[in-house]
């Protein structure tokens, strides 16, 4: 099992996002609205945590700026994706391809 060192808030956000991953590996339809509800964190604080997770290579946000007729400032259209080792936080994704992905555990530093 791979360990990922994170802060307490990063752990909270990653666990909430991983819990939203109900479909095939890599798919997400979760974003700021879902994670605000799941974590209880306000949008500004959540964005700060997201920024840190992006820098660590554990999160990516698709702002869907290329989508026709979508306002890129509409946060309901910003889809959050687990990246890198964070894929291991979703057991059924690891089960789909255990040679490629390893289960991961979050460790608060």
Q: What is the pLDDT of residue 77?
A: 64
The pLDDT profile of the chain, 109 residues, written as one tens digit per residue, is: 999 999 999 999 999 999 999 998 888 989 999 999 999 999 999 999 999 999 999 999 987 655 555 455 555 567 899 999 999 999 999 999 888 889 999 999 8
Q: What is the pLDDT of residue 73?
A: 58
Contacts of 75 (CB under 8 A, 6+ apart): 31, 32, 33, 43
Q: What is the pLDDT of residue 69?
A: 52
Domains along the chain?
2-108 (1.10.10.10)
Vertex 43: Cα angle to 42 and 47 (nearest 5): 120
Q: What HEC string does 50-81 produce?
A: HHHHHHCCCEEEECCCCCCCCCCCCHHHCEEE
Q: Can you state the percent helix, strand and coil of the chain, rounding each to 5?
A: 45, 15, 40
How far from the centroid of its chain's Cα atoms is residue 25's Cα?
13
The answer, as to whether pTM is greater than 0.85, is yes
Q: What is the pLDDT of residue 88?
A: 95
Q: What is the pLDDT of residue 42?
A: 93
Distance CA 65, CA 22 (A): 25
């Amino acid at each position: 099992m791979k360990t990922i060192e994170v802060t307490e808030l990063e752990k909270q956000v990653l666990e909430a996002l991983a819990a939203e991953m109900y479909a095939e590996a890599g798919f997400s339809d979760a974003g700021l609205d879902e994670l605000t509800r799941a974590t209880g964190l306000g949008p500004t604080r959540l964005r700060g945590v997201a920024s840190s997770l992006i820098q660590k290579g554990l999160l990516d946000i698709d702002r869907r700026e290329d989508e026709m007729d979508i306002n890129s400032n509409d946060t309901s259209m910003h889809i959050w994706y687990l990246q890198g080792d964070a894929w291991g936080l979703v057991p059924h994704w690891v089960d789909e391809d255990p040679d490629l992905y390893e289960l991961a555990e979050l460790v608060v530093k």
